């Protein structure tokens, strides 16, 4: 009787056929090496492999070739004659092989550039070698799996009835079965044999457990998830260490992300202008680290740190970059937000690692940018006293001034929210010096313009000194970032019009672009709206022209810019203290547009919304903050800032009603004064409005032509602004002890041969 084999699992692997194929390939390779019977072996391989004869033909052709694979010629040693066949065998086939070799050479000549495709592929690949190796391993595994599942022998599926009637009574030698239950299979087989009268000769059954890959497919999602997590921990965004390189250690997340700056910083102290006092303070830190003996001889100690504070764009980070470029000591930089993580304990651990790195490189400078991210006041809306932010701040306080405090490590920090920092962080011993960097004055702006004009290709007729002074007078209140933006915009405007040089007109357009916004020439206004805008801007211009304390008008335009439909540029002077009369005149000038609309059109529009907002803020500031109202008295209360949540007012309800009443009276009196002024100068307002409708742009010369010379004295040039302030240039002199700050002093040698002996 035949032999019956049953597989207990749901599917089986045909390893037997694969082994047969491998033996055939080995036999064919051996015969090729011996040099005989290629055709017979190839036909045998095709007969034995059945459905693989098409693939075997390609494989036999590849193995029988005398030439190395295309692109891999450099890995095979060249010989004088053809390799793979001995000289004494098959001489009659030499011509045929030579013909094939010539054809291969011609094909290789046509694709000569493709011979080094692997080298070009490695050069153009954006990944490193390890990633390529991993990708190759994964691709090879997927190819093997596809080869196995595609070319395996699946067999033919039949029903139990077909097996009983067509196979069981014929006595076949060998059959495979996929069964689910051994007992059920034996019972059915026994019943079938009894029905057919085969009790005397039972079919022998052998059982084996094999897998069809179902378990692998079941575990595949889990394996992919585990692999993704490992990849994230090794090199992804959650990897610890510097720059996300955790070196494969998931616990390296607590390592600091601080960077030690090398010599690749091109910014120097000569590139920083407009903040000479702050630069002098930082220079002293650098000089102390370079020449400590100069201070230690007098018993001085190096300050623990300095806090750089001020509005955005004033040069705090730029000053730190210049320090990194000039200091010959290690400069370590880190961002305050890098200490904040979602995992508990990571922030304090990174603080400890940062200061440990600083101690190893001492003497050094540690710069913490945006320290308000980690140094906020404790106890403000946190969930308990053990919040992660507070733990990080406590660790920072201990590292800066505790039992394990650092020596010869200067800590610099920058922030524009110094008001929210914890008082313990700001005390002497941690940050000994508080350096306030504000917007530069007119001299500082001129110095900053000189720095940013240096790389520009200016017109040969332009003098850099004169241009810097002129632009400094046109940009009151600008910070260093604004000035850098103006110079860059001027160069962009020149390039937009294909100019070969940047001239003064480009800088004026750049100033208008930064102050007023983008000019919208394509925004179409209907004639009624355009007329309203012209009279509105004319009202502002005429009111400011005949008010003593109003800022001088520089230019006015009805071309839309930014969010506004009109644009007026004034030239305010450098002033830090204002009187009640000056603030009142400014309120009247801002109300000039609304009053002109009411006088000429007997109706008002929404165009004065921004003017009314500024007038209201000025009125409340005079009454509530500056104490300039007799009814409210000499008191001052803080006004809520935008974004602040106001829970209660610092004054009573009756005081609030009194403040509202006085503010309304102040605004009404300013409106009545402006109404009287515009009514008296009605002809001039109409003349300016009509000229605006014609030209759309008026400068100061046009205003003088229409209104005459302004009846009040005004300043418009750089020399007039700096008159009485000493030198025309910013004072950049250094004290005697800092003049050689960039040179390391040599230690004094002891006197020799009796020289230098004191005389009695």
Rounded to 5°, the CA angle 269-275-277 comes to: 95
Rounded Cα gap, residues 270 and 285, in angstroms: 17
Residue 514 · residue 492 · CB < 8 Å: no
* CA–CA dist 608, 553 (Å, integer): 19
Report phi then psi at 369, rounded to 5: -85, 145
Q: Which residues, other chains included, contact 114 with Cβ-Cβ below 8 Å and sequence gap of 6+?
A: 70, 71
> What are the average pLDDT values for consecutive 10-residue runs of the chain, which has 760 residues?
41 39 44 42 40 44 52 52 42 48 53 52 57 75 72 62 70 63 77 71 66 66 78 54 45 70 76 85 83 85 86 88 80 86 80 88 86 84 62 88 68 89 89 89 90 92 90 88 93 93 92 84 82 92 91 86 81 85 94 94 90 94 93 88 72 91 96 94 92 88 89 73 63 73 56 38
pLDDT of residue 44: 38
CA distance 321 to 327: 10
Classify residue 457 as exposed, middle or buried by CB count within 10 Å of its CB (0-12, 13-18, 19+): exposed
Radius of gyration over alpha carbons of the chain, in Å? 44
Tell me the HSE value of 571 on the side-chain side, using a 13 A CA sphere: 20
Q: Which of 537, 597, 662, 730 does the annotation list as catalytic?
A: 537
Domains of the chain: 256-435 (3.40.50.300), 439-516+716-741 (1.10.8.60), 527-637+653-710 (1.20.58.760)
Find the length of the chain: 760
Q: Looking at residue 501, what is its pLDDT?
A: 92
E runs forming strands in 399-557: 409-415, 433-436, 553-557
Report strand pairing: 305-309 vs 205-208. Answer: unpaired
SS3 250: helix
Alpha-carbon distance values, 642 to 557, 646, 732 (Å): 30, 10, 38
CA distance 58 to 64: 10
Judge contact between 738 and 281, C-beta under 8 A: no
- Tokens found for residue 575: 């002033």
Contact 372, 417 (CB under 8 A): yes
3-state secondary structure of 163: helix
3-state DSSP assignment of residue 445: helix
Question: Is 537 marked active-site?
Answer: yes
Tokens representing residue 179 in the block: 């069964």
How far apart CA 671 and CA 163 sit, in angstroms, is 108
Candidates 400, 399, 412; CA nearest to 283 is 412
Handedness of CA 372, 374, 379, 380 (dihedral sign): positive
Show the beta-strand stretches assigned E in 459-596: 553-557, 567-570
The pLDDT score that the predictor gives to residue 253 is 63
- Which residues have CB under 8 Å from 664's CB, separation 6+? none
**In Å, how far are 80, 339, 412, 551, 626 from 352, measured between CA atoms?**
68, 11, 17, 54, 47
**Count of other CB atoms within 10 angstroms of residue 254:** 18
How far apart are alpha carbons 653 and 659 in whole angstroms?
Answer: 10
């Amino acid at each position: 009787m035949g032999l019956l084999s049953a597989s207990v699992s749901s599917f089986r692997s045909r390893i037997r056929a694969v082994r047969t194929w491998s033996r055939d390939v080995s036999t064919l390779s051996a015969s090729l090496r011996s040099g005989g019977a290629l055709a017979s072996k190839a036909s045998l391989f095709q007969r034995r492999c059945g459905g693989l004869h098409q693939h075997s033909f390609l494989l036999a052709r590849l193995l029988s070739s005398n030439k190395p694979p295309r692109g891999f010629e450099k890995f095979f040693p060249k010989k004088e004659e053809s390799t793979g066949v001995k000289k004494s065998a098959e001489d009659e086939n030499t011509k045929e092989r030579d013909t094939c070799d010539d054809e291969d050479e011609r094909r290789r000549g046509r694709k000569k550039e493709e011979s080094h495709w692997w080298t070009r592929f490695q050069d153009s690949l954006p990944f490193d070698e390890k990633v390529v190796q991993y990708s190759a391993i994964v691709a090879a595994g997927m190819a093997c799996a596809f080869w196995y599942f595609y070319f395996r022998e699946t067999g033919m599926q039949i029903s139990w009835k077909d097996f009983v009637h067509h196979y069981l009574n014929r006595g076949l030698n060998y059959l495979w079965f996929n069964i689910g239950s051994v007992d059920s299979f034996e019972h059915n087989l026994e019943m079938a044999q009894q029905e057919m009268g085969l009790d005397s000769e039972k079919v022998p059954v052998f059982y084996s457990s094999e897998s069809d890959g179902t378990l692998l497919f079941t575990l595949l999602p889990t394996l992919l998830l585990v692999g993704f997590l490992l990849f994230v921990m090794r090199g992804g965004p959650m990897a610890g260490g510097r720059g996300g390189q955790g070196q494969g250690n998931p616990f390296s997340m607590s390592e600091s992300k601080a960077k030690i700056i090398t010599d690749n910083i091109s910014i120097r102290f000569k590139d920083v202008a407009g903040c000479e006092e702050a630069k002098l303070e930082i220079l002293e830190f650098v000089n102390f680290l370079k020449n400590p003996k100069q201070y230690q001889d007098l018993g001085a100690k190096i300050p623990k740190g300095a806090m750089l504070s001020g509005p955005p764009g004033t040069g705090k980070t730029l000053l730190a970059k210049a320090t990194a470029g000039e200091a010959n000591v290690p400069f370590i930089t880190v961002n305050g937000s890098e200490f904040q993580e979602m995992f508990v304990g990571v922030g304090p651990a990174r603080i400890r690692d940062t200061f440990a790195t600083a101690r190893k490189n001492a003497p050094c400078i540690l710069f913490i940018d945006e320290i308000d991210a980690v140094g906020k006041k404790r106890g403000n809306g946190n969930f308990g006293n053990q919040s992660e932010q507070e733990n990080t701040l406590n660790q920072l306080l201990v590292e800066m001034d505790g039992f394990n405090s650092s020596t010869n490590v200067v800590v610099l920090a920058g922030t524009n929210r110094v008001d929210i920092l914890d008082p313990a962080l700001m005390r002497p011993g941690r940050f000994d010096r508080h350096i306030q960097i504000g917007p530069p004055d007119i001299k500082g702006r001129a110095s900053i313009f000189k720095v940013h004009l240096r790389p520009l290709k200016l017109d040969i007729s332009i003098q850099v000194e004169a241009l810097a002074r002129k632009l400094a007078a046109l940009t009151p209140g600008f910070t260093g970032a604004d000035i850098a933006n103006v110079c860059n915009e001027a160069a962009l405007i020149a390039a937009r019009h294909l100019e070969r040089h940047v001239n003064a007109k480009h800088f004026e357009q750049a100033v208008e672009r930064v102050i007023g916004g983008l000019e919208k020439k394509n925004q179409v206004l209907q004639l009624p709206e355009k007329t309203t805008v012209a009279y509105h801007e004319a009202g502002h211009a005429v009111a400011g022209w005949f008010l003593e304390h109003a800022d001088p008008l520089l230019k006015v335009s009805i071309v839309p810019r930014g969010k506004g439909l009109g644009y007026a540029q004034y030239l305010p002077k450098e002033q830090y203290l204002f009187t009640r009369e000056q603030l009142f005149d400014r309120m009247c000038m801002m109300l000039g547009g609304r009053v002109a609309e009411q006088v000429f059109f007997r109706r008002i529009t929404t165009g004065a919304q921004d003017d009314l907002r500024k007038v209201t803020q000025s009125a409340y500031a005079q009454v509530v903050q500056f104490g300039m109202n007799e009814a409210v008295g000499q008191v001052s209360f803080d006004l809520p800032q935008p974004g602040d949540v106001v829970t209660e007012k610092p004054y009573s309800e009756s005081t609030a009603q009194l403040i509202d009443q006085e503010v309304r009276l102040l605004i009404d009196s300013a409106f009545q004064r402006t109404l009287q002024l515009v009514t008296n100068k009605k002809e001039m307002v109409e003349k300016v409005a009509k000229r605006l409708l014609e030209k759309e742009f008026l400068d100061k010369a046009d205003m003088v032509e229409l209104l005459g010379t302004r009846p009040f004295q005004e300043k418009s040039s750089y020399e007039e602004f700096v008159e009485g302030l000493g030198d025309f240039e910013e004072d950049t002199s250094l004290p005697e002890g800092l003049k050689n700050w960039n040179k390391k002093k040599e230690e004094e040698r002891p006197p020799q041969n009796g020289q230098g002996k004191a005389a009695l």
